[in-house]
């Protein structure tokens, strides 16, 4: 979380981001879990990755 600008601004760098990836489909991102006090600010990027079927190689 130390790479997230909002986390640094509010001095809350504790948290966890877990990505669910499908190895049978070129490592496509199929889900994201975010546990953080600022998760609402980060979930939008995760939603776009799932919606547009991005792979972990592109992110």
Quote the pTM value: 0.74
Per-residue pLDDT tens for 25-37?
A: 999 999 999 998 8
How much is the pLDDT for 12? 74
- What's the rounded Cα separation, in Å, for the pair 20 and 8? 26
Residues whose CB falls within 8 Å of the CB of residue 32, separated by 6 or more in sequence, listed in order: 17, 18, 19, 20, 43, 46, 49, 50
- What's the rounded Cα separation, in Å, for the pair 9 and 25? 37
What are the sequence ranges of the domains in the chain?
14-59
SS3 string, 20-34, reads: EEEHHHCCEEEEEEE
**Token reading at 55:** 């792979």
């Amino acid at each position: 979380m130390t790479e997230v600008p909002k986390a640094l601004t509010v001095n809350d760098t504790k948290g966890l981001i877990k990505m669910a990836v499908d190895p049978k489909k070129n490592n496509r991102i199929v889900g994201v879990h975010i546990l953080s006090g600022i998760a609402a600010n980060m979930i939008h990027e995760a939603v776009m990755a799932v919606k547009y079927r991005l792979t972990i190689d592109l992110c």
